[in-house]
Structure 1
Amino acid sequence: MKFIGIDLGWKSQPSGLCCLELRDGKLQLLDLDRQDSIADILTWIDKSVKLDESAIVAVDAPTLIPNATGSRLPDKLSHKYFGKYHAGCYPANQNLAFAERTINFGLELESRGFVHAPTIEPQKLGRYQIEVFPHPAIVNLFNLQRILKYKKGRLSDRQLELIKLYNYILEVLPSISPHLHLSAFICGQFPHTGAKLKETEDKLDSLICAYVAAYWWYWGTQRNLVLGDDTTGYIVIPQRISEVIGDW
């Protein structure tokens, strides 16, 4: 089973891409990439997941937007449950500039057999897609009291927050199920320029997306929250680790 994370550029920005595979009970990192165009992203997915392979694609973007104006239900619920962590998401509606791009991306995935999975039978092979959001996922997976603020602010501050994220990934995700094996994942020296730091940010976000895909497939609703459904749009978020840690 493969797990694809897509930190989708909502407009014309590059997108971070990650491919994990469950082998011998551990998640192995197969690829960590970045592509510019939707066509190149889809080509990367097609190469990463063959037509006869099972996989779940987790997209950090609203691929289901039923409402013409305002906010979707999952957007509102993200603020209700995660606003105190500064982890509420941006509103999505069909009149916003990014909507056509993100909706069409979901449709492209559907055409490849990746069906929306706001409900899932844990560990059942198939081809699925879900919407995810890294900020609340990071808060819950790493038991944080606020988001890691690596997207805005001074370059030096963003770099420090991104290093924190990298260290949490290395320290925590190999210790929870499904276990992420990262011996081949070495970030090295963190970049000091804005463009290079953004590239690292996109890739780490895509890794979080891919891990959330694996966590959803592995545990289902036993250890995940689903904000919304396939009629309102939905976001899958891991349950806070401190709430389930006694079960490990």
Structure 2
Amino acid sequence: MKFIGIDLGWRSQASGLCCLEWIDGQLQLLDLDRKEAIADIITWIDQSVKPDEPAIIAVDAPTLIPNASGSRLADKLSHKYFGKYHAGCYPANKNLPFSDRTVNFGLELESRGFAHAPTIEPQKLGRYQIEVFPHPAIVNLFNLERILKYKKGRINERRLELIKLQNYIIDILPICELPLRLCGSLRQAASASTFPLEIPTTGAALKAAEDKLDSLICAYVAAHWWYWGEKRNLVLGDRTTGYIVIPEKRGASK
């Protein structure tokens, strides 16, 4: 089973891409990349996941937007439950300029057999897609008091927060509650993925590193959802109104 994370650029920005695979009882990092055009992202997905190969794709973008104005239920619930962590999401509606791009991306995935999965039978092989949101996922996975503020502010401050995120990924995800864990050799990983990343000091390069790390979190959330389903995950919203899947706080279970 493969787990794909897409930190989708909502307008014309580049997107971070990650591919994890369940191998011998552990999650292995296969690829970490970044692409500009939607066509190139789709090609990367087609190359990463063969036709009919089981996989779940987690997209950080609103791929279901039924409402003409205002916010989706999932957006409102993100503020209700995660506002205190500064982790509420942006509102999504059909009148916003990004809506066609993000919704059409979800439709492209559906055309390849990746069905929306706001509910799932844990560990059942299949082709699925879900919407995710890294900020609350990071808060819960790493038991944080607030989000890591690597998206806004001075470059040096963003860089320090991004270094924290990468260190959490390296130091905590490999020892997360068994059996769902990333392989313990992340810190020594040396492959086409070039991970760990060298966290840069300039704005554009820092954004590229941010996109890649966000996509890795997305892919991990995909695995977390597939393995445990609603037992250890929250679902804000539903298939009709739009939804966001978020891991429960680490160590918690229903």
Quickly name the TM-score band, shorter chain normalised: over 0.9
TM-score of the aligned structures, taking structure 2 as reference length: 0.95
Give the whole-Å Cα distance in 1 for the aligned partners of 2:219 and 2:213.
10
Kept in 1, the 8 Å contact 2:143–2:249? The answer is yes
Give the whole-Å Cα distance in 1 for the aligned partners of 2:72 and 2:197.
39
1:163 matched to which residue of 2?
163
What secondary structure is seen at the aligned counterpart in 2 of 1:235? Answer: strand
What secondary structure is seen at the aligned counterpart in 2 of 1:87? Answer: coil
Instruction: State how 1:77-156 maps to structure 2 within 5 Å.
Output: 77-156=77-156
Is residue 219 of structure 1 aligned with residue 228 of structure 2?
A: yes
Kept in 2, the 8 Å contact 1:7–1:17? The answer is yes
The structural deviation recorded for 1:243 is 2.2
Give the whole-Å Cα distance in 2 for the aligned partners of 1:215 and 1:67.
29
Instruction: State how 1:58-77 maps to structure 2 within 5 Å.
Output: 58-77=58-77
Gaps of 5+ in 1: none
Paired residue type of 2:10: W
1:30 matched to which residue of 2?
30
Paired residue type of 1:108: E
The structural deviation recorded for 1:175 is 1.0
Gaps of 5+ in 2: none
The structural deviation recorded for 1:11 is 0.1
Alpha-carbon spacing, 1:188–1:63, altered in 2? closer, same or farther (3 Å) = closer
2:182 matched to which residue of 1?
180
What secondary structure is seen at the aligned counterpart in 1 of 2:182? Answer: strand
Give the whole-Å Cα distance in 2 for the aligned partners of 1:211 and 1:186.
15
TM-score of the aligned structures, taking structure 1 as reference length: 0.97
2:241 matched to which residue of 1?
232
Give the whole-Å Cα distance in 1 for the aligned partners of 2:97 and 2:156.
31
Q: For the aligned residues, what is the CA RMSD?
A: 1.1
Paired residue type of 1:237: I
Give the whole-Å Cα distance in 2 for the aligned partners of 1:140 and 1:22.
22
Task: Provide Cα deviations, 1:5-34, integer angstroms capped at 9, x if missing partner.
Answer: 000000000000000000000000010000
What secondary structure is seen at the aligned counterpart in 1 of 2:165? Answer: helix
Give percent identity, aligned residues only. 76
Task: Provide Cα deviations, 1:134-159, integer angstroms capped at 9, x if missing partner.
Answer: 00000000000100000000000000
Which of 202, 208, 212 lines up with 1:203 in the alignment?
212
The structural deviation recorded for 1:242 is 3.8
The structural deviation recorded for 1:186 is 3.1
The structural deviation recorded for 1:188 is 4.9
Kept in 1, the 8 Å contact 2:197–2:209? The answer is no
Q: How many residues align?
A: 245
Give the whole-Å Cα distance in 1 for the aligned partners of 2:219 and 2:142.
16
What secondary structure is seen at the aligned counterpart in 2 of 1:57? Answer: strand
